[in-house]
Amino acid sequence: MKAEKRATQITDQYLLLLDKHIEDLIQGRTTAFMEINRIASELAISHKHLIYTVQKEKGNHPSYFYNQKIIAKAKELLIHSPLSIAKIAFLLTYDASNFSKFFKKWTGETPGNFRKKIK
């Protein structure tokens, strides 16, 4: 029972750390995405333990949630900010071309089409 509680705690801390890190990127407090090893280190566990725990708790690799949170933040910015797609890409540490590919892979549409559809 105690191990299950710890697994939930690690997973929750991981997701909260991702939220904070993405907000730090947007606010300019950091300029690079954290690697999974660094995230695990911040949580005082090994990267293998982080991967195992998150997969066990949530059913997906930690990078899946990382990408989902990036997409959610990108959508929020595309909807609510006047920033160009290139600037949003830059804030999220992508160049515009790679950001468009990444966004389309996860959503099925380009950031420009998403923004047009919403507006």
pLDDT of residue 21: 93
pLDDT tens figures, 45-67: 999 999 999 999 999 999 999 99
From the centroid of its chain, how far is CA 49?
A: 19
110/18 Cα distance (integer angstroms): 24
pLDDT at 1 exceeding the cut of 90: no
pLDDT of residue 9: 96
pLDDT tens figures, 75-116: 999 999 999 999 999 999 999 999 999 999 999 999 999 999
**How many residues belong to the chain?**
119
pLDDT of residue 2: 75
Q: Pull the structure tokens for residue 28.
A: 């300019």
